Amino acid sequence: MADINYDAPQSARIWNYWQGGKDHYDVDRAAGDAWIAMQPEIVSIAKQSRQFLIRAVRYLTAEAGIRQFLDIGTGLPTVQNTHEVAQEIAPESKIVYVDNDPLVLTHARALLRDTSDAGVTIVDADYHNPESIVSDAQSALDFAQPIGVMFMGVLGHVAEYEEAVSITRRVMAAVPSGSCLVLWENTNLTETARYAAEEYAKSGAIPYRLCSLEEVAGFFEGLELVEPGLTPIDRWRPAADQIGADEPLDAHGAIGRKP
């Protein structure tokens, strides 16, 4: 807890605020409210990102038969986390959560201690070092069997796009055929999104780099996209009764299968 920075806004805590959680501080709420004032749909993006995660994990578990998940940059626990969704369908599923934010790690360990979830491992690692992540995950996951690799809106914090792509490709190179990459990123299609990201960088938080559609597609190069392909996150296999924005959100994602 001594390593937690309470003076600067932190993206995991801001995201938790937008999703209706309780693990945030005044500085996070101020930064979050400032972004909302510039791009109100960011709250919908935050909430729909969780719905995308739920649908993606259900697909991987129920339809693709995957029983292992590597959730990198997991963020603060909320409701319907990866292990809860997967283990509801297949209780034997194993999940490795990866993050290096002290508050995220504190809450994740407390959650697992309180719920006694089996098959869940927490790794303290930085996604800038994917080889370390893979090495740590090998103690909990079988890298001879397909793995669902997840980067859920976190790679915008990598300063250079080429480095972000390198991170995903190095992880995917370590997993076997039949593994899947689940990834979404905030995109730069609207002026409000671009302006909000520029102003957010002035708040003292780590800047968030928006992606173009072509850049999001680049993460999936060499993979087989699962239908419906690359879409706004609220339009990826939505439930028949889903309540969401009237217009597609400026955040896009997909699932890609390793041949």
In this prediction, residue 169 carries a pLDDT of: 98
Distance between CA atoms of 126 and 200, rounded to whole angstroms? 22
Q: Is the CB of residue 208 less than 8 Å from the CB of residue 157? A: yes
In this prediction, residue 30 carries a pLDDT of: 85
In this prediction, residue 255 carries a pLDDT of: 98
Q: Where are the domains of the chain?
A: 11-238+246-257
The gap from C-alpha 193 to its chain's centroid, in whole angstroms, comes to 19
DSSP labels, 11-37: HHHHHHHHTT-S---HHHHHHHHHHHH
Q: What are 173-201's pLDDT values in tens digits?
A: 999 999 999 999 999 999 999 988 888 78
Cis peptide before 146 (omega within 30 of 0): no
Mean pLDDT of 79-90: 91
Q: Quick one: 11-238+246-257 is in which CATH superfamily?
A: Vaccinia Virus protein VP39 (3.40.50.150)
Q: Per-residue pLDDT for 253 more than 90?
A: yes
Give the max Cα distance, the chain.
Answer: 47
